[in-house]
Amino acid sequence: MSDIISKNPTVFFALCSIWIIMILASLCVFSIAKFKKNADHSNLIQRTKSWWMMVFVFSAAVLISKTVSLLFFGFLSFLALKEFFSQIPSRRIDRRVMFWAYLAIPFQFYWIYLDWYGMFIIFIPVYMFLFLSMRMVFTEETDGLLKSLASIQWVLMISVFSLSHAAYLMRLPALASFKAGGAGLMLFLVVITQANDVMQYVWGKTFGKRKILPVVSPKKTWAGFVGGVLSSVVLACLLSPYLTPFNLKQSILAGLLLSIFGFIGDVTISAVKRDLGIKDMGNSIPGHGGIMDRIDSLTYSAPLFFHFCRYLFY
């Protein structure tokens, strides 16, 4: 770990900043719970504890080694895929096909480990899609085949292919004028995307009146969306000199990309949950729901940000 810290001091200091923010937030929650005893603060306290758990695990994954980071994101993809498969309507015969979808995870992350970009980018959308359709045909159960196949393939894309782009960021090397390397880019992606979610909530609660998608996500407002985008762009400009090789124009574009498409990822998963008639994808994170409820924004922002960085610098 000391070697990683010495090579990426800005990443280490950025993580320290996150821990400081968490300490200050925890003190605020403790003060609220202490001085406003009449109100029920159990959910707020539960959410704070969950954030501590997530920050600790994420920090360890970033600091220990790139291999550990790959394993972390691979396990995250597995949990997200498992949540989805437990919620979507499926036939008994589909379980045989789902088994092969799970097996795609170690292969997808092995291509990242090898730095084999060509196979990484086509393995799921080409080879797995063709193989899964062939495997489903061999079940000889044609009733509901198209719906089941489309569901399994889309879930595999969102849960594994999209999230694997965040893991691949860790494999990108440092540049002559950019010492933070892929770890800095990955941290930038996660911080901006998650901060955008928080700021949209804060701006929406404070000033929000007009709904954007009242049927899909009633709590999303125009004030929250615009406030979140502007806040994310400002934060991106502040963090870019330390975590990315972006100039000012590229920092603004990155902030816009992450905030806008993070929002789209969020409301897309919300629409899916409404279609399924559920509030949360799971209950693995107390106060937050499931894994997918916490990383839904990353399903859109991660692949787009990865290709944005790769096009500009790699």
What are the extents of the domains in the chain? 1-64, 67-171, 173-314
User: Would you call 234 exposed, middle or buried from its count of C-beta atoms within 10 A (0-12, 13-18, 19+)?
Assistant: middle
Write the CB contacts of 75 (distance below 8 Å, at least 6 apart in sequence): none
User: pTM of the prediction?
Assistant: 0.88
- What pLDDT, in 10s, does the model give residues 219-248? 889 998 999 999 999 999 998 988 899 999
Average pLDDT value for residue range 47-66? 74
The whole-number pLDDT of residue 2 equals 43
Contact yes or no for 184/11 (Cβ under 8 A): yes
Q: Output the pLDDT for position 219.
A: 84
In SS3 terms, 170-221 reads as CCCCCECCECCHHHHHHHHHHHHHHHHHHHHHHHHHHHCCCECCCCCCCCCE
Residue 259 structure tokens? 């905030």
> What is d(CA 179, CA 172) in angstroms, rounded to the nearest whole number?
11
175 within 8 A of 245, measured Cβ to Cβ: yes
The tokens describing 221, both together, are 């407002």
Under a CB-based contact definition with an 8 Å cutoff, are residues 102 and 78 in contact? yes
What are the C-alpha distances in Å from 309 to residues 128, 263, 301? Answer: 26, 20, 12
Distances (CA, A) of 148 to 136, 281, 291: 9, 19, 23
140: left (phi over 0), alpha (psi -120 to 50) or beta: left
165-216 pLDDT, tens per residue? 999 998 888 787 777 788 889 889 988 998 888 888 888 878 878 999 999 9
Distance of CA 230 to the CA centre of its chain: 20
